[in-house]
Structure 1
Amino acid sequence: FEFGELENSLDKVLEARELADQHFGPRDERTLRAYLLQALLYGKLGELEIANELYQETLVIAIEQQGTNSNIVLQILDQYGRFFAELGEYEMADVVYEKAYLISSEALGAQDLRTIMRLQTLANNDADLQLYELAEQRLQDAQATLVTAVGAEALPTINILEDLAQLYQRQGKLRPALEPLEQSYALRTKVQGPEETQTLETKERLAELYRQLGRPDEAEPMFLEVIAASEQLLGIADPLVIDAKSHLAQLYENTNNFVASLRYYQEVYEIDQQILGDAHPNTAGDLNNLAGIYRRLGQLQQSEATYRQALQAMSAALGEGAPQTISIMNNLALVLESQGLYDEAEPLYQKALALSQVEQGKEHPTSLALNNNIAMLYEAQGDFSRAERTYQRVIELNKQVFGLTHPNTVASINNLAYLYLIDQKSEQAETNFLEAYEIWKELYGEKHQDTLKALNNSGRVQTQLGELEQAEETLVRVLELRTELFGGQEHEDVLRSMNDLAMLYFEQGREYEALELFQETLELQNKVLGELHPYTFETLNNLANLQHEMGELDYAYETRQLGYQRRNKFLNRILWVAGDNTRQSYINLYRPELDAYIRLLIELDDERTARDIFDISLRRKGLLLKITSETQQVVQMADSPELQVITEELTAARKELAALTLSGPTPETRNNFPQLINDLENRVNGLQLRLGEASAVFRQAIQQVSVKDVLDAVGEEHALVDFFTYRDENDEWSLCVVILNNGELYFYNYEELEPFKDMIMELRDYMMDVTVIEEDIKTIAQELYEPLWDPITEFLEDKDSIFLIPDSVLNVLPFDALVDFEDQYLIETLNLRLISSARDLVIDPLEPAEGDVLIIAGPDYDSDEISNSPEARLVASSKRSATVNSGIRMGNGLRGLNFSPLPGAEKEGKVIEEVAGDKERSTTFFTRAAAEEKELRSYNAEKVPEILHIATHGFFLKEQERLTKRIVGMQRGSQNPIPPPADNPLLRAGLAFAGLNPNAPLLGEIDTDNDGVLTAMEVLSLNLTGTRLVILSACETGLGEIHEGEGVYGLRRSFQEAGVDSVINSFWEVSDDGTQLLMTKFYDKYLDGFPPREAMREARLEMVKDFRWGSPFYWGAFAMVGRHE
């Protein structure tokens, strides 16, 4: 039995019972003990009905033979009660335990130790029934009796104290739990010694209570002492050591020391894995803890994968309905929500809730917690009304089950207050924050961290409401209490208070007091939290706003510039390891502070304006694609055995750098934090250089480019025009431009963007209509030329070779079709060279590919060969990278794609094949049903094409409308916010291939390598290193929603990031004859040796001069973006 060999043990017991029957008779006490042991073993083996019958039979016989008050009857009742309790049948157990206690009281007396122990057992069972008042009364009675019977320092008395503490903890009454637990620890230390196992266990429980009470400075050394003593006394694998390490990891997680937390969770996982195996519930629980830290560090995909692993293991070990499984299910839903995968998160939450309600009841804490998380999901989706209703329902249920003053209840009240704050319902927010404050004050005392957080939030809301005197009283009080609680100013909560109080002074017009306090706060934050902590950035932005308000523009400039430089550093560290959807959110989230910097630069109106705005464009425009391209290159290089180790080391170093950035300095790292960061950055740079030696594309991606580098590259022969959009003080999009000419930088501010949007769309409408006469088009084109191009001609002087970088809606403007005051198209007077980024003028060119001309034209969108294939329903994840997998799920709009045929596209492909053949160039041509996505991938797996010509539909889908609310919704004042995912523009832009129409409803369920859609994200995974030219013909990329920053820019730029030098795309579908003529002219010149840009320009100029083809409808649709001549 001791070794767990239950069946062998049962055989022996059956033999013993038969012998007892023979020698002593079936009603002898010794025989009854054999029956009792037999019932115990049947229960352990899961034979519950047999065990129950045996208990009842044995009890009846014992009462008949030995009498109700006999010792054997009491033993049977004790064991029978445990049988029910272990099954969770606490009501049945209560009946049996109470019977045992009453008999024991009568037979042995109330002062007998055995009677008191039975009262203790009955009280603990009452606690399981949530009869807390009765349980408390019985435990207190038992304790008082024990003190009289055996003394206050007897072990049974000490044990009762711990039961009392545990009872209070179960009710969330942490402060009442403290006194009995501290007494128990002091007594054990005195009676049993500080190094005795039970003393160490009590010490660990007390440390955990300190952690829960928000007293980490007391808890941490106790945990460390328990670990050191227990490892020496019991070994590293003892449960006490594991518990202490797990709780210490939680403490570090609570205090945002994620690196230390991860280390201890990892240690526990490795011990459990080695001792218990991967299939054990404890090991699955460890994975759950690790996944939680990955989530806090922003490593959402790794977190999701780890949660899935934990869920699978826990389900297999304990079943889907086990509380532990439901908890992991909830956590997985949470991380799916964090990635914006709401369509997956909500059903998983609902499934976990349904299981919890069935298995544990609607009023069980887990069920209530799941309801709370569903409310937070609605909040994250921007559905504030549903979130509010759900929070209110959860609060009412928590009040019914736990009472108003339970931590679960107050947490829900606090969540509702945050919702009101986000939804700009300040008065309701204030009411709820104050209610949370009063409850936490009662639960934990006025100086508890949570209590003060609620009070501080109340003060912030009061500031928003204009209740400035009351706000000052509140915020000053919080600052005093926090300073006292944390022993000075060097704690993030104190610094939070200092910033909020300075903000109040700002609102009150006490500018110099605010200035002094902001500066003091910033100095401390740099030291305590680090330069890249969210609180530090917030104070920097507030200080800059104040300096601007005071008219101190030069000081405001220095502060804004510092914030901009630090944010660049932050984004370069974080975006590299963030999920593909979350990257866009980070960029969106921090855009307002960038716009504030741009507005200040415009207001300064001096030499800094053009220089710094151009630097912003250089570093921020296309940042998403640059980072995504780097990560894709590393993923591809990991397939090489020679480079695998380097890529793994680089990824690990990047993750560690991001983790340190998010956590900031901790007490352990504060003194050497800058050195740690510097060492990691040097390591990352060194590893990247080693990878750059193996990959020219990666070497391009990581190449550093400065403003001076671009000035040198532009030289005296050319000029550069870089358009840039920003938001003005009214949150409206505005347009500006930087011009580089003759080594000088110039700036011009157009202000409002909206009129240009309207004019560009009107011009496009005219140009896209073949029935509109050319003179009407010219009139509209000149009306746009006057406000857009004419103002910058003075800066361009007589330059006719101009590099042009558009932004926002200008990405879909055919600049060559603008008409000057001489009634000439710009293509006739200027050589406009469209580029995606000024970086392209500086980075080293790639060695050109020597492959064929690959043509994919006129796909059969209705082909059902893919959707009807046996492989169509393969699980997507089996062939999809985690990056693309998580991203595709965001692109729900892709399932609505449907395209009509392009009959002229096939003919276009044949014409190109003929022209290339005439020039003795080898071609590969796919059309109709054969024009599948897999053909491009198969070809690309073997060689890199010199030219890739794709004549098909392109698309760019709209962004989800609730993005803004989700961005606002994450502003809960958390110390390390991970923004909710935006819709990744690289997953909303793409090209259509054969079979797309029947495949569209299955996207995400069939193999993404051949589903009929090639997204811009997937383009980055192609190897097009050195491809000279990609032509996207009949591509309607520009017709979707226009977005600033990445936007329409995404699809063509993704080909360049994959290694392509030049990309030609069309803004609308031109007539078949017009397209074929232009492409014939272009290929004829290009294959004769013209550079691609010149070949395209000359082909278009020939059409401009041809009466039949002179309308911009024919030649204006095509835009070429190149890197090098």
Structure 2
Amino acid sequence: MDRIDEFNKKLAQLDRSDPIQIQAMIDLIGEWLEDKTNAAEIQAHLTAVRTHLWLDFWELTKDSQSLENTTNHLATLIESYRLIYEDIRAIERVFNIFGAIYTTSKDSQTLEMAVYWGTNYYDFATIDFPNYIENTNNLADVLRERYSLRGEAEDLSQSIELFEETLELTPEGDDSRPMLLNNLAGVLRESYSLRGKTEDLDKSIKLLEEALELTPEGDEARSMLVNNLTLALGDRYDLIGKVEDLDQGIELLEEALAVSPEGDKYRTLLLNRLADVLRESYSLRGKTEDLDQSIELFEETLELTPEGDQVWHVLLTNLAITLRDRYALRGMAQDLDQSIKLVEEAVTMTPEGHEDRPAILDELALTLRDRYVLRGKAEDLDKSIELLEEALKLTPEATVNRHRLLDNLANALRDRYALRAKAQDLDQSIELFEEALALTLEGDIDRPGSLNNLALALRDSFELGGKIQDLDRSIELFEEALVLTPERKIVRPMLLNNLALALGDRYALRGKAEDLDKRIELNEEALRLTSEGDKDRPMLLNNLAVALEDCYVYSTIDDDAIKAREYYQLAIELLIDGHIQKPKFQRNLGHFSMRMGDYSNALEAYEGMAANLEMLRSASPSKQDREKLLSDYSYGFANLVFCCLKLNQPEKALRYAEGAKSRALVDALHNQVTDISNLATQDDSLKANLKELQKLQHEINWLLKQLGAGDENISWMDPNTARFKRSPDEINADLRDKRAKEQELWQMLEKRAPVFAMTVSAPPFYLQDAVALADEENATLINYYQHSQGWVAFVVHKSELNIAELQGVEELLEHYQSAFSNLHSPFGKKLLSSVLEEAWQVLIQPLKKWLPAEGSNLVIAPFAGLHHLPFAAFTNPTDGSYLVDRFHLKEATSLGTLKAMRTQAQIGAESHANAHAMTVVGYADKPSSPSYLPAVEDEVNAISNLFHLPHPLIGQAAMIENVLTQAPGSQSLHFACHGMFDPQEPQRSGLMLEDGWLTVRDVLTRMNLSGTELVVMSACLSSLTKISQGEELTGLLTAFISARAKSVVGSLWSVDDRSTAELMVRFYELISQGWERSAALREAQLSIRKQPQWGHPYYWSPFLLTGVG
């Protein structure tokens, strides 16, 4: 005992504020502990004291070794369960140390240590330990923190149990009771957010009310309790729409702020919360003073909060949300721009894994979607969808507000469907809306919105597929949403509008006057409930105008027509130029004015439509989106051209007709070449995707070759091989899957790779441009167009513009289609001869007085189905001569395209290390194949000999990669092979090579032919293009134009092998003698035609030339 007495004496004299003394005592205890003669209880006592001294030393010096010594020692004791009272007190101290460190560091590993030591303390301590209640409360708190970080429900449940235990152990009247009530209320509110149990929320509110009642006036804790209580009341208001909860929250917050001194640390909390509740009140009642006060309070909160504070990102987001609300109310773009700026800053301040990140991503997505609607920038919509998908991934399945994210993502996908018309976006949108509705409880304040959203998507589905059950369900859902929406609710006008639109659809389908009358009634009510300046007011005015126009058609009451015009004009006036809805409303006014016979007002409206569409197209970097815009408004352009002609404004008619033809192609020629050949080395982030894409393309080509190799093509097959040969159905299924994945990868690439971005729009095409083009080409220009009332031809000869109306064009196209379908039969060839005479009478004879002298040049720009007609073979029924006999012909996808090609031709070609005169590619297929082309080898050899080319890419050398490598450096590029045109997916059309198909997409994305003067496709169907509603052409011909080839030759149908070979050889002989390309092609056609066996146009006329030279 002498040693113990000595030890206790030294311990009593120890200055615990002196780390040197503490370290000396630790060393002394270490020496004594080495004495194995000590009794076990003495050893344990000495060890426990040393543990506390280590902790004292750490608190003074923050020496990590002393803390590590402590934790290692205690962990050993815990494993052996050999703990005395002082050891448990040491565990308590370690727990509180890690808890304190985590409070400042927010380090997840430190939190894990705090949970570990707190749990061990709780396991070994008993309720009679000093500070047991406080430590149990602290353990509950760190478990709650870990739940917030990891989202594991077990942590939350344990936290609730511990908070309940501390409350039970705390006597009534204890000063700590209000805070313990608050803590339990907080985790119960989180449990409600996770599991959606309303009893958790109700109990949370009850506990907070009790805590507030126990807290005296003037106590600073009241501010925090008021804030927390109003948050819980807000949750219940969101759940069941109980207005009393909202009003109670406002009252409590205003009272708390009235007694809160300027320096109160909770003042900013109360200001922020009151601003939030007033915003909710505005959403309910539409009182603009609530919204304005909310914005002022959020701004004051930000001013009082140091920048970079841990809640800074939340305050930025809250202000952003209210500014977006004010934008929705008053339509001021500066509010929306500021909102986006604030929430973008909030996102940058919110780290990955932070619990607030999904909500802030959601808000940024919503603001970007609003800006898309305002300004039409498709990248805003794409970014919005990307952010919402990220937010949804970060949100646990059981989260109470998950349905809102689902709704928001579904709405953005629905917008993208409206932009790009991809049915999968609409299908996914409906699935997400259905899921959101299933998660929305009966009585939930969000339920009307979820019903409305699903109804809108079903209405879209009806318009797409025509299923009446989609429309009927849509109407039912709109009606249910309206029943659940209070009269004063700010969203009610939109619900009324949406139901009105669906009833209008049903009226159009079934013609029931009561549906139309109800529609007008709902439209008028929606407009009445909408304040001046509301961003939705223009849309409501437009929709009411549409309904009144329908009513006028039905009843011929002039008052309906007068009101319809007035509302259309008001709707247009309220929108800024460039708003995504403005061209739609202008088109509607144009249609109405035409219906009324008012062509002057119709022309004004349609010209406004065209101007705003140009603004929207210029704002979009996506070729696909630009095409879609013109496609959606093609009928508006057709009406615009008709109005110009009706009002005798031919120059405008030409300008707008050109404005509606091949615009995306013309724009592409004004932008950089899309060449991803080197993209992988320039952008590592896309490398893996590009590699996977190329792998898929090889697999697709292999599957296509398998499909092409039928059993009849193989003389003998090894039985073992035959056993493993796949069926065509199986191969086709695999092919569909791989093509779907390929398409998905392309869409990703086109969105992410800057090389695809279109930053420039082509200027308008005026009459002076046409006159200049005619002069440069030394040609007369013929531009065909179909307006809304028929067909016309614009003829530019020298400086004059003349216009001819054409009759019988649609019948001609029908007759040509019949002939085209039977071309390889004697009947088909005879029918073609008849159709070619008809084509002369319909398309050439009406222009005869404006055509130049024989031997002159004609440049022809077809429209729609005319692109597929062989103009060279149009036959004069009087003397049997062909158009090619009289004129040198060149075709253009549009006059604007030819102008852009001429401009590109004047730009110096990019230098290329592999520059050479010509690349000749020939692939005849396997000799055993029925589709073998025996004349291909002769054609390739003759052309190669003519230009002294030692190594043509023929047979097995005609590989896709070989072509992609050699083509960009070639002045001329010749293909002799099979061609394939896919009208459903024209980007898959291609030229058959040894290892697969060189597709339209390959040419568009992997060939830079800016140094190539001529591309010739001596292949079937190589000039055919898919023609969209917006007169955009997609096929091999336009692909090579986009790749910057100066001129391109291709064919309109499956050509004869031998006559084609001879025609091509003759064409190149003339080229080698210095002939111009158009003249050389004409002479080669005339030469082939003179041979009796090839005199019919089938053999010589399908080839056409477009471009320069």
- 1:549 aligns with one of 583, 595, 619: 595
Higher relative contact order (CA 8 A, sep 6+): 1
C-alpha distance 615-365 of structure 1, shift in aligned 2 (>3 A):
same
Query: For 1:1098, what is the secondary structure of its paired residue?
Result: helix
How do 1:395-406 residues align onto structure 2 when only pairs under 5 Å count? 397-399=438-440, 402-406=441-445
C-alpha distance 386-799 of structure 1, shift in aligned 2 (>3 A):
same
Q: Which moved more, 1:1082-1091 or 1:10-19?
A: 10-19
Query: For 1:836, what is the secondary structure of its paired residue?
Result: coil
1:995 aligns to 2:995 (yes or no): yes
Partner of 2:3: none
Partner of 2:267: 199
**CA deviation vs aligned residue, 1:679-713 (integer Å, no higher than 9, x gap):** xxxxxxxxxxxxxxxxxxx9998565411331354
Contact 1:413 1:432 in 2 (8 A): yes
How do 1:309-328 residues align onto structure 2 when only pairs under 5 Å count? 328=389
Rounded to whole Å, the distance in 2 between the matches of 1:700 and 1:391 is 36
C-alpha distance 219-241 of structure 1, shift in aligned 2 (>3 A):
farther
Partner of 1:885: none
How do 1:716-1115 residues align onto structure 2 when only pairs under 5 Å count? 718-725=779-786, 735-741=791-797, 743-750=799-806, 754-765=810-821, 767-769=823-825, 777-796=832-851, 801=856, 802-821=858-877, 822-839=879-896, 840=898, 844=903, 846=906, 852-859=916-923, 902-917=933-948, 925-939=952-966, 943=969, 945-959=970-984, 987-996=987-996, 1013-1015=998-1000, 1018-1019=1003-1004, 1022-1025=1007-1010, 1027-1038=1012-1023, 1043=1028, 1045-1046=1030-1031, 1048=1033, 1050-1115=1035-1100
Rounded to whole Å, the distance in 2 between the matches of 1:237 and 1:258 is 27
**CA deviation vs aligned residue, 1:447-488 (integer Å, no higher than 9, x gap):** 4432221122223334443434433433332222212xxxxx
**CA deviation vs aligned residue, 1:1003-1042 (integer Å, no higher than 9, x gap):** xxxxxxxxx5342574476443353322111142356755
1:96 aligns to 2:81 (yes or no): no
Partner of 2:767: 707
Rounded to whole Å, the distance in 1 between the matches of 2:829 and 2:384 is 62
1:492 aligns to 2:551 (yes or no): no
Contact 2:674 2:1004 in 1 (8 A): no
Contact 1:855 1:949 in 2 (8 A): yes
1:629 aligns to 2:672 (yes or no): no
1:127 aligns to 2:192 (yes or no): yes
C-alpha distance 221-13 of structure 1, shift in aligned 2 (>3 A):
farther
Shift of 1:377: 6.7
- 1:564 aligns with one of 596, 600, 610: 610
Shift of 1:264: 6.1
Contact 1:857 1:931 in 2 (8 A): yes
Partner of 1:617: 657
- 1:58 aligns with one of 124, 132, 136: 124
1:431 aligns to 2:470 (yes or no): no
1:607 aligns to 2:667 (yes or no): no
Query: For 1:1108, what is the secondary structure of its paired residue?
Result: helix
Rounded to whole Å, the distance in 1 between the matches of 2:323 and 2:934 is 64
Shift of 1:1057: 4.2
1:480 aligns to 2:528 (yes or no): yes
Shift of 1:1092: 0.9
Rounded to whole Å, the distance in 1 between the matches of 2:559 and 2:671 is 46
- 2:134 aligns with one of 75, 87, 100: 75
Contact 2:358 2:390 in 1 (8 A): no
Q: Which amino acid aligns with 1:1097?
A: R
**CA deviation vs aligned residue, 1:1056-1079 (integer Å, no higher than 9, x gap):** 344333211122343443222212
**CA deviation vs aligned residue, 1:906-929 (integer Å, no higher than 9, x gap):** 432221111123xxxx67632233
Shift of 1:623: 0.5
Q: Which amino acid aligns with 2:981?
A: F
Rounded to whole Å, the distance in 2 between the matches of 1:12 and 1:593 is 81
Q: Which amino acid aligns with 1:204?
A: N
C-alpha distance 30-825 of structure 1, shift in aligned 2 (>3 A):
closer
Contact 2:433 2:453 in 1 (8 A): no
Rounded to whole Å, the distance in 2 between the matches of 1:511 and 1:756 is 42
Contact 1:993 1:1013 in 2 (8 A): yes
Contact 1:1081 1:1099 in 2 (8 A): yes
Contact 1:808 1:1047 in 2 (8 A): no
Q: TM-score, normalised by structure 2?
A: 0.71
C-alpha distance 559-909 of structure 1, shift in aligned 2 (>3 A):
same
Query: For 1:740, what is the secondary structure of its paired residue?
Result: strand
Rounded to whole Å, the distance in 1 between the matches of 2:178 and 2:352 is 43
**CA deviation vs aligned residue, 1:697-740 (integer Å, no higher than 9, x gap):** x9998565411331354369743222224566xxxxx6443333
Contact 2:967 2:973 in 1 (8 A): no
1:236 aligns to 2:236 (yes or no): no
C-alpha distance 417-815 of structure 1, shift in aligned 2 (>3 A):
closer
Q: Which amino acid aligns with 2:1070?
A: K
Shift of 1:630: 2.9
Partner of 1:596: 639
Rounded to whole Å, the distance in 2 between the matches of 1:499 and 1:994 is 58
Rounded to whole Å, the distance in 1 between the matches of 2:116 and 2:845 is 96
Shift of 1:1086: 1.5
Aligned residues: 912
Q: Which amino acid aligns with 1:568?
A: E
Shift of 1:804: 1.1
C-alpha distance 841-32 of structure 1, shift in aligned 2 (>3 A):
closer
Partner of 2:28: none
Rounded to whole Å, the distance in 2 between the matches of 1:747 and 1:1064 is 29
Rounded to whole Å, the distance in 1 between the matches of 2:71 and 2:828 is 104
**CA deviation vs aligned residue, 1:412-437 (integer Å, no higher than 9, x gap):** 44323441365165544333223222
Could you tell me which runs of 5 or more consecutive residues in structure 2 were left unpaired when the two chains were aligned.
1-57, 103-107, 148-152, 508-512, 680-757
Shift of 1:407: 0.8
Shift of 1:783: 4.0
Shift of 1:383: 7.5
Contact 1:1035 1:1069 in 2 (8 A): yes
How do 1:169-208 residues align onto structure 2 when only pairs under 5 Å count? 169-171=234-236, 172-173=238-239, 178-193=246-261, 196-208=264-276
Q: Which amino acid aligns with 1:789?
A: I
**CA deviation vs aligned residue, 1:397-418 (integer Å, no higher than 9, x gap):** 335xx32433156414432344
C-alpha RMSD over aligned residues: 4.9
Q: Which moved more, 1:423-432 or 1:45-54?
A: 45-54
C-alpha distance 862-841 of structure 1, shift in aligned 2 (>3 A):
same
C-alpha distance 1066-219 of structure 1, shift in aligned 2 (>3 A):
farther
Contact 1:388 1:416 in 2 (8 A): no
C-alpha distance 709-58 of structure 1, shift in aligned 2 (>3 A):
same
Shift of 1:30: 5.4
Rounded to whole Å, the distance in 2 between the matches of 1:702 and 1:131 is 55
**CA deviation vs aligned residue, 1:228-272 (integer Å, no higher than 9, x gap):** 656665543223332222334445556477887666656666687
Q: Percent same amino acid at aligned positions?
A: 17
C-alpha distance 291-413 of structure 1, shift in aligned 2 (>3 A):
closer
**CA deviation vs aligned residue, 1:821-844 (integer Å, no higher than 9, x gap):** 112222223333322322336954
Q: Which amino acid aligns with 1:75?
A: E
Q: Which amino acid aligns with 1:793?
A: K
Rounded to whole Å, the distance in 1 between the matches of 2:845 and 2:938 is 41
**CA deviation vs aligned residue, 1:508-551 (integer Å, no higher than 9, x gap):** 32776556555655665556431232343333223223322322
